[in-house]
Chain A
């Protein structure tokens, strides 16, 4: 027994060394892999796509509820997104297009939206889809008894009407620009849900939708399986089965990928850069990278006297080397954030005021405000107080913790002492953010496809539990945000948001740090993937595997 154990141990230890050595290939290799596979892919793409095969997707968390209204976690939405449709959706260039709605009209005053629904769409159980289903979904979401977090946008609706079986109309109190996009919510089947308690509906574990995939099986904490909907109104998806595997540990998930048991997962920068560059991955996988809809920032509590002078905040922005953060934390897979919007969207505006790394300029600005090292201890001081503050961030996000450490060193160089505190998420939000008991925070926002930022930047949103927790107040920003959300014309809207971005750049209520990249890896047998500003999954039903490469035939 002991001999065997010892020999196993020895072989394991020697293997670690082998593995460790095998993984150290240069990053140039990875670039080549992408290119090689792209070339291959182009030649195969000329083939006519065929049906068949299974895609196995890895996820850290299980879905919670497949009625999208009741779920707020991304696994639920990822799976439910294939089962249900909305009236509208974003296309690959992030423009709204019809999904269940064939077309729509917005009245000239911007108050009324009329949706013309597609004909001939069927629920997975064969029942026809009509305007009744849309009305039912709307009523359900605004029903106070429905425990949903998404009612906000729909409470703005003054009146909803069914014009005929395939025409649905909503009237708003005030023109509301994000209104159209809000109808991207999943439409639920009236004939299966009406008159029942939605929280106890079997549909939450066994959904029936109109989407490209039908639900087939869910083993809690283990996997969810979907099969292609042969009657899908945009055509049957080529990939026959979609298997969503739950693997809570990212190291395990990566091993499963390596062993060929997974086809699709999101990589961490280090996995993307170093661990998927070896021979094993060459030819077997394609890697993709694109900016994700998120950014990370250093936010200041503007009620704190330390940060009330704009020049102090500007100085901190000058003192932080953002490119260094991207290189150190994201291994280069990200872009410098200049404001609250993602650089490749129509509403992004590059502000004239920029903050390149410049510690001299930072010191000079701080000196203007009166911060100087008078007692020679290396720390700036003013009125006898040294410049010390604490930055808080949530536990479980190593990228934010690393960001804090790098910033800490840069600030130390200009004579500012920044302490770091890392706190469990719920405690962090409830005890510190909501009660405004913080000096500065490192956090991130997920950004939407609509530029409306009323909830985060308007001065009316500084109350407890609201999102403008840094207490930013600027009357001009308030006006711009209000105008922006009540205007439909894109060009006019853009002007408001351009000015909004200029003001934020000038005022630096946050030091905007970086926009990370999404780094998915997908088995090379899948073809038809075309990265776009919307990411890669927007055309999932067009992905296909050539007959000879199909792996799961049963």
Chain B
């Protein structure tokens, strides 16, 4: 098992190198430079000013030199300074914004799992029943509903008309003056809609997936055998079928790890949540190279770690996967 993990781990380094190299290249191929924000169509920015800014950011060096410099810093765990006008450490900016994005995505992932798996199982066991059909319709509505639209509707309903929930942001204005529990409650009220909205779309995929897995499993011989032996239905489904049907879900969870960080642009923008998605989008628009690279690096590492975890858990659950271990 350890050799398996070791090998997989060693493979990750060249992969990460390749990913960052390609990202760096593609990013620099895009027209425009970080200093454009300051100088484009700005009558005060003369040619000298522009040159001065370019050398300040090291943009006058050739591309390979800049990449190697970046790599050298990364090895020392230094992601450098952001090119944005705030000139802050990339790591500081990411550290400031990562918790909230992680929280929302983790909560919504949790919600998806809690809701989608039972829906999937129920639909599979009661295949083609009325409730299965209603669930199917509901799930497809969720799949087809644009996030921003749903978000706006919920905001109008719960924020403006009923006034039950805050519309946007992370905390109420009196937040700092309250104790721990009111603070927690306030935060929870603010997170309710974003979590709901970000979970809604994912619900469809996972529940459908669960349903088809389950359907496949309950048609297997061993399930029929178990039933024939007089085992209770709840045990047949809950113990024997579920365990096998859940296996592919593990892979999906592994893949959703990087999703915990990226992919939040839309709901973070709509709900005015200062998270990673919003920051990354801004960084791309402003051509803030160090911040883009920093975020990509973390995203890529997470993807690789996610894959590794999926593989390991696979190997743990199903020994047939551990092919590399035989020698």
> Which residues in A have some Cβ–Cβ distance to B below 8 Å?
1-2, 5-6, 9, 11-12, 15-16, 19, 54, 56, 62, 64-65, 70-73, 76, 144-145, 147-153, 155, 199-200, 204-205, 219-223, 243, 245-249, 251-252, 255-256, 258-259, 261, 425-427, 429-431, 445, 455-456, 463, 465-467, 552, 554
Contact = CB atoms under 8 A, between A and B. Distances in A.
A251 B41 CA distance: 29
Nearest to B36: A426
Contact of A15 (B97, B131, B156): B156
Q: Which 6 A-B pairs have the closest CB atoms?
A: A221-B274, A426-B32, A64-B85, A455-B43, A247-B272, A427-B31
A15 B152 CA distance: 12
A81 to B, nearest CB: 16
B274 A246 contact: yes
Contacts of A554: 174, 177
Given A72-B37, A147-B53, A430-B31, A220 B156 contact: no
Contact of A6 (B46, B84, B138, B169): B138
Given A73-B85, A152-B46, A552-B173, A429 B53 contact: no
Interface string B72-111: 0000000000001111100001001100000000000000
A221 B279 contact: yes
Given A65-B86, A70-B85, A222-B169, A150 B47 contact: no
A429 B36 contact: yes
24 contacts: A1-B115, A1-B119, A12-B154, A15-B153, A16-B153, A147-B56, A147-B57, A149-B42, A151-B46, A153-B44, A222-B272, A245-B169, A252-B155, A252-B270, A252-B271, A258-B160, A259-B163, A261-B167, A425-B285, A426-B40, A427-B31, A427-B32, A429-B32, A429-B36
B50 interface: yes
Given A151-B49, A246-B272, A456-B43, A252 B168 contact: yes
B52 A144 contact: yes
Given A248-B268, A255-B167, A430-B31, 18 more contacts: A1-B115, A62-B274, A64-B86, A72-B85, A144-B52, A145-B56, A149-B38, A151-B48, A199-B87, A204-B86, A205-B88, A222-B170, A223-B169, A248-B272, A248-B278, A251-B270, A255-B160, A256-B167
A178 B34 CA distance: 29
Given A64-B86, A65-B86, A205-B86, A431 B159 contact: no
A169 to B, nearest CB: 23
Contact of B36 (A6, A56, A430, A552): A430
Nearest to A13: B153
Contacts of A248: 268-269, 272, 278
B40 A251 contact: no
B15 interface: no
A220 B87 contact: no
B298 interface: no
B172 to A, nearest CB: 9
B236 interface: no
Query: What does DSSP make chain A's interface, helix, strand, loop or mixed?
Result: mixed
A29 B100 CA distance: 43
A455 B45 CA distance: 10
A246 B152 CA distance: 17
A259 B169 CA distance: 14
A427 B32 CA distance: 6
Given A248-B272, A258-B160, A427-B30, A2 B153 contact: no
Interface string B211-233: 00000000000000000000000
A64 B43 contact: no
A72 B96 contact: no
Contact of B44 (A73, A149, A425): A149
Contacts of A463: 47
B256 interface: no
B132 to A, nearest CB: 11
Contact of A249 (B31, B38, B119, B269): B269
B287 interface: yes
Contacts, number: 168
User: Is the interface on chain B under 10, 10 to 19, 20 to 34, or 35 or more residues?
Assistant: 35 or more
A175 B72 CA distance: 51
B244 interface: no
B161 interface: yes
B160 A259 contact: yes
Nearest to A5: B138
B1 interface: no
Contacts of B45: 149, 152
B157 interface: yes
B279 A431 contact: no
Contact of B161 (A15, A71, A147): A15
A249 B270 contact: yes
A396 to B, nearest CB: 9
A152 B85 contact: no
A92 B233 CA distance: 81
Contacts of A251: 152, 270
Contacts of B287: 426
Nearest to A147: B56
Interface string B131-148: 100110010010000000
Contacts of A15: 153, 156-157, 161
Contact of B167 (A71, A153, A259, A552): A259
Interface in B149-186: 152-157, 159-161, 163, 166-171, 173-174, 177
B87 A65 contact: yes
B155 A76 contact: no
Contacts of B271: 252
A543 to B, nearest CB: 19
Contacts of A466: 47
Contacts of A149: 38-39, 42, 44-45, 49, 53
B32 A255 contact: no
Interface in B252-295: 268-275, 278-279, 285, 287
Contacts of A465: 39, 47, 50
Nearest to B174: A554
Contact of B49 (A11, A54, A148): A148
A485 B168 CA distance: 48
Contacts of B169: 222-223, 245, 247
A1 B115 CA distance: 9
A11 B161 CA distance: 12
Contact of B87 (A1, A204, A552): A204
B46 A247 contact: no
Contacts of B84: 64
Contacts of A144: 52
Contacts of A429: 32, 36, 40-41
A474 to B, nearest CB: 19
A431 B40 CA distance: 12
A260 to B, nearest CB: 9
Contacts of A2: 131, 134-135, 138
